[in-house]
Amino acid sequence: MEGVSEPSVLGMRLANAREATREVFGDAGVEDVLGRLGDDERGAFLPGAKLRVWEPDRLLVAWVLAVWEGPCGRSRPDLARWAGAITGRGFGRARRVLISIASPWTLLRRAEALWRGEHTHGTLTVVPVGSQGARVTLRGHLLAQHAVTRDVMAEAFRYIVQLCWVHEVTETHEHKDDAVHVLVSWR
């Protein structure tokens, strides 16, 4: 991407992270997270911040880690709830309607293009596993380097498949070779 000097995410995703935190943990949760960020990170998340089209991935990672340490209290169920909220905010109303009528395979076939539209770095691949599962691999990205961000990404993939109105969507994931490998299954 022209003018992008480090791995970056669409800037509006930072506002989505803040508002997902407010949705799940309230204003106090947002204030808690803001208080855990460094001065150089905090400014991008303040209401009214002038976000660029692309913002450094490290800012989003810092927010995720602060949510984990702060309002989540290191609770995996709370982190999963927050991951669902931020993922849901990543889809506009029209896109959610289209996803709700799509099959998981329709969506998963487009996963790499969807990733590329929102991230400057990292490689996302999807491989079918039987007729009701897929292995989603994110390689070479900051979100694959931290245990907490891997948990968030795994829940995001599960949540997205769940939007397709399939049943019993589960995920398991592992970190191996600079990548997070997520097995998503459904019925």
**Average confidence (pLDDT) over 89-112:** 81
Q: For residue 115, which phi and psi values (nearest 5 degrees)?
A: -60, -50
Note the pLDDT tens digit of each residue in 6-44. Answer: 999 999 999 999 999 999 999 999 999 999 999 989 999
Q: 73 in the Ramachandran plot: left (φ > 0), alpha (ψ -120 to 50) or beta?
A: left
This model's pTM is above 0.95: no
Note the pLDDT tens digit of each residue in 35-71. Answer: 999 998 999 999 899 999 999 999 999 999 999 999 9
C-alpha distances out from residue 118 to 7, 77, 106, 172, Å: 11, 26, 19, 24
